[in-house]
Structure 1
Amino acid sequence: MAATGGRAIMEEILACIPTQPLPSSSCTQGPGFVSVYAAAGGGGEAGEDRISRLPDALLSNIVSRLPAKDAARTAALSPRWRRVWASTPLVLDDAHLLPDRSDDGPSGFRTDWRAIADGVSRVLAAHPGPFRCVRLTHVCNYAAARDGGALARDWFRVLAAKGVDDLVLVCRPWPIDVGLPADILRVASLRRLYLGLWDEFAGGTKVTKALHSGEIVFPHLLDLGLCRTDIKAAEIDRLLQCSPLLEKLALVACHNSPASVRLRSRSLRCVLFWMSVVEELDVLVVPRLERLILWSECTGARARLNDGFRTRLKLNIGYVQELKVLGYLDTGIHVLHISKTVIEAGTKPSPRTIVPSVKILALKVRFGVRNEAKMLPSYLRCFPNVVTLHIMSEVAEEPTGKLNFKFWQEAGPIGCLQSQIKRVVFKNFQGNRSELAFLKFICERAQLLHRMVIVLADGDDPASMEPMVAKLKSLACTKWASKDRKFTILVRNGGCAWSFHRASDLSVSDPFDC
């Protein structure tokens, strides 16, 4: 792969991995930390050591927020500080051990990676544990390859023995053929695990056999992220079975590896395929699933897919009764199966072809490709209780025929439009007639519509905004079906990028808003 492509993938992955440790009930939060500095500030005599008067809990708060090497240095201040450092759950980020860029050059060619890996080893060995968060995004490759595998022999053994809540392992530099050691399965204390750029997950077939032993490997794991890490479908299946509390599963930048994924879990609440594609995603038994995010958009995504590539998305309606958020369903890539029915243009709704729990639905469509646009009515009929509808319009490089307003008039009744939808967000509006025909159709059918938001494709260009708005004025002449007197149409520019962190945040009610 070209260097630029490798750098782009690296940047995409680093943008998705967690940057903050998981919340810990043992840590005092922000306001307490501010009061530490207030207590240590003015009001005393010059040179007075007021910090040492603070209780150990507040000193531990200070230490927990320092870079690891600075936190370790506090142990030299006094026996009390040594005790505080040892009793504070460790937060270690190997980025804090890197030399100053001004001394090392922009590419890090003079970096002494052995010294940095040794520094990680010393910190892990010196601290008695537990470890709140360990984030290794620079030296994993070196540690995995040197001396017969220091990563497996030393680090995983210490992490397993002393306990770590939150672990991020990214194999850099990349691409180099390095597999993740199977010793990762011994770290049973994990609550969050993100893995990036590993050529093989935990020894491949060897670990699959270990997972099939039936043991609970990760009894506390809540959040699992696999970022451009080769893993087999059977390994994902067993990981789900061996992680009984897992609530969030993310596959990031996994380009058709594995080719198919089966989801069976009694605990999963959120699944994300972020910049990832598979040939088949089979949602079998996931009774607590609330959110399913499908996002294939990344640099050159369409170019990497063959014209005939499709993802079969299978939903078993008997086991997705909590699914409230779904998208982006791409009418050009996703083939939707509900139970045993393949949804096609013209499919009539029935109890076997609807998912009544979905309230927020996001669809992606190329209005210039006739066969893709014709799937919109069929997809909408599958989700009769949608309240918020997001439509992402994509450019058709080779248009195959547009659908005019007459087509939408003849589309027949669509339950969610007539009785449920209150908000529509149309993104990437380019101003073509097919888009306007669809928007007019929405206005004439959506009886409970309260607000329509139209986000312009070239909204950052002031010169392009005026003609786009002029085209949208034709909607004012439409006979609106909405009975809401406060119904409004809001036109705005773009500029707010959707992010993995928003899509995966379960505290955000609508992850597609930005």
Structure 2
Amino acid sequence: MGAGDARADSTRLEEEPRRRELHHGGDGGGAPDLISRLSDEVLGDIITLLPTRDGVRTQAVSRRWRPLWRAAPLNLQVGYGLSSQHTNHANLATKILAGHDGPGRCFTMPGFRLRNRLAMVDAWLRSRALTGLQEINFSYSKQQQQPPMPPSALRFAATLRFPNEVAPSLKFPHLKELSLVEVTISEDAVHGLLSGCYVLEILLLERNVGIGRLRISSPTLRSIGFSGPWAWEGSEAKFQELVVEEAPRLERLLPLYPNLGPATIRVMRAPKLETVGLLSAAISKLEFGTTAFQEMIALSLTTSMATVRVLALESLGPNLDSVLDFLKCFPCVEKLYITLNRLKTVKNARIYNPLDPIECLELHLKKVVVNDYRGMRPDVDFAFFILNAKVLKDMYRGESIPHAALLLSPSFPAAASP
């Protein structure tokens, strides 16, 4: 046997354990391990999606898997998913950060009590293992006053994609979805924040304190959901006005809880708007271009929003006259959601005139959902009137409409019952 043959035999002997690991998952028996045949990059992506404790455990699968966790983007969740014993969370987090090479993918601290650990958390955030972090989530315990987010968190401003707490001077070039819920923040801070989100598509502003008047101009926003703070927060905290100045890609405009504000909504330019609602008399002033409503009563109907396909209204009575005015403003609505408000009785005076047709009823309206339908005379009158819709296919008695979920959904979900 020559030297070349000896080297070949030696190579085969070294590769044989590797082949057995790939075939049997490293345990010497069983079905072929097809997952281990994937590339390191794909396996790293899989490990990153696992809870932290499970990701660490993948090192024990086989020699093939042993180095993968340290090379995969780190997903670190400091909580009960990391350890069943609360006192071990901090020690385990420190050990994991020391043993991982980075980069970071997600760092989460749900309900974590900082107490005197601010310096420790600051050191965590400065760790090499979190370099390039894309997602950070702090949820402090409500049982005591908590300090602000450590300043070291701001070093991820250039890479964060889903931050939960921000400063107005920062830029977030990759951020596509921003939710601010029950936080105290000034309108200037929100304006500054939005100006630094160059690709933002989804914006949720719900029950926040400090936003009085907000003006939005964005070339990328597709969905806006908003409401004011709880009533007990005080009059000085109320959300007074929302103005959409320029939103060329906006598709969904969603007042989540009209009773909480804003009192005034103005849409100056949104040429692709498709879904609007819930609109109610709690919105004192409502403007679409030069069309204006005051507490759901039309003042002028000069601008037609022909792009809107889905419309949700809260109607007093039901106020059939008001609904028809909205259908004139939105002539191409295909799905109409009506929530009946019983606080006021309204006498409807309008009779449908075929010589003065409403385009929506003649050509487009295919589905109507009436929430809180009780079969009373005004309800029946409304139902029979809607039957004038010539292409109507479905009319349902529905449940209350979910709102925040519509930020991601292109249309309202189906009604609960016919």
Check whether TM > 0.5: yes
Q: SS of the counterpart of 2:331?
A: coil
Take 1:379 and 1:54, find their aligned partners in 2: how far apart are those partners? 60
Cα deviation digits, residues 282-321 of structure 1 (max 9, x gap): 1112111111222118xxxx6xx5xxx76211100xx300
Residue in structure 2 matched with residue 138 of structure 1 by the alignment:
111
Take 2:172 and 2:154, find their aligned partners in 1: how far apart are those partners? 8
**Larger helix proportion of the pair:** 1
Residue in structure 2 matched with residue 8 of structure 1 by the alignment:
none
Residue in structure 1 matched with residue 18 of structure 2 by the alignment:
none
Residue in structure 1 matched with residue 234 of structure 2 by the alignment:
none
Q: CA deviation at 1:82?
A: 3.5
The 5 Å alignment of 1:46-57 reads 46=29, 50=33, 54-57=37-40
1:513 matched to 2:417? The reply is no
Residue in structure 1 matched with residue 325 of structure 2 by the alignment:
378
1:451 matched to 2:394? The reply is yes
Which of 386, 399, 402 is 1:442 aligned to? 386
Take 1:165 and 1:410, find their aligned partners in 2: how far apart are those partners? 58
The 5 Å alignment of 1:148-227 reads 148-151=118-121, 153-158=122-127, 162-173=131-142, 176=145, 178-181=147-150, 183-187=152-156, 188-195=158-165, 202=166, 207-208=167-168, 210-211=169-170, 217-227=171-181
Cα deviation digits, residues 123-180 of structure 1 (max 9, x gap): 34432222333333221xx23x5344544x2344348961122333322335735434
Q: CA deviation at 1:336?
A: 0.7
Q: Structure 2: which 5+ runs fail to align?
A: 1-21, 231-238
Q: What code does the residue aligned with 1:193 have?
A: P
* 2:137 and 2:163 in contact (8 A); partners too: yes
Take 1:232 and 1:122, find their aligned partners in 2: how far apart are those partners? 39
Give TM-score, length-normalised by structure 1.
0.64
Which of 281, 285, 299 is 1:347 aligned to? 299
Residue in structure 1 matched with residue 93 of structure 2 by the alignment:
120
* 2:366 and 2:391 in contact (8 A); partners too: yes
Q: CA deviation at 1:242?
A: 0.7
Number of aligned positions between the proteins: 380
Q: CA deviation at 1:258?
A: 1.7
Residue in structure 1 matched with residue 51 of structure 2 by the alignment:
67
Which of 250, 257, 263 is 2:216 aligned to? 263
The 5 Å alignment of 1:274-353 reads 278-296=239-257, 311-316=263-268, 319-333=269-283, 335-339=285-289, 342-344=292-294, 345-350=297-302, 353=303
Q: What code does the residue aligned with 1:279 have?
A: Q
Change (3 A) 1:117 1:432: farther
Take 1:330 and 1:147, find their aligned partners in 2: how far apart are those partners? 47
* 1:393 and 1:428 in contact (8 A); partners too: yes
Take 1:71 and 1:93, find their aligned partners in 2: how far apart are those partners? 11
Take 1:159 and 1:291, find their aligned partners in 2: how far apart are those partners? 40
Q: CA deviation at 1:65?
A: 4.5
* 1:418 and 1:447 in contact (8 A); partners too: yes
Q: What code does the residue aligned with 2:244 have?
A: V
Q: CA deviation at 1:40?
A: 6.2
Q: CA deviation at 1:72?
A: 1.9
Change (3 A) 1:62 1:267: closer
Take 2:59 and 2:182, find their aligned partners in 1: how far apart are those partners? 39
* 1:189 and 1:220 in contact (8 A); partners too: yes
Cα deviation digits, residues 243-269 of structure 1 (max 9, x gap): 1111111123x2554222221211111
Change (3 A) 1:181 1:261: farther
Q: Which is higher, the Rg of structure 1 or of structure 2? A: 2
Please, which moves more after superposition, 240-249 or 407-416?
Answer: 407-416
Which of 402, 407, 417 is 1:504 aligned to? 407
1:247 matched to 2:231? The reply is no
Q: What code does the residue aligned with 2:75 have?
A: V
Which of 365, 387, 404 is 1:421 aligned to? 365
* 1:131 and 1:164 in contact (8 A); partners too: yes
Residue in structure 2 matched with residue 231 of structure 1 by the alignment:
185
Change (3 A) 1:257 1:511: farther
Q: CA deviation at 1:49?
A: 9.0
Change (3 A) 1:53 1:414: closer
Please, which moves more after superposition, 155-164 or 278-287?
Answer: 155-164
Q: SS of the counterpart of 2:116?
A: helix
Take 2:35 and 2:374, find their aligned partners in 1: how far apart are those partners? 63
Identity %: 26
Take 1:325 and 1:98, find their aligned partners in 2: how far apart are those partners? 41
Q: SS of the counterpart of 2:142?
A: coil
Residue in structure 1 matched with residue 317 of structure 2 by the alignment:
367
Cα deviation digits, residues 447-474 of structure 1 (max 9, x gap): 222222222xxxxxxxxxxxxxxxxxxx
Please, which moves more after superposition, 241-250 or 73-82?
Answer: 73-82
* 2:226 and 2:255 in contact (8 A); partners too: yes
Change (3 A) 1:498 1:232: same
Q: SS of the counterpart of 1:146?
A: coil
Q: CA deviation at 1:84?
A: 0.5
Please, which moves more after superposition, 260-269 or 374-383?
Answer: 374-383
Q: SS of the counterpart of 1:358?
A: coil
* 2:59 and 2:69 in contact (8 A); partners too: yes
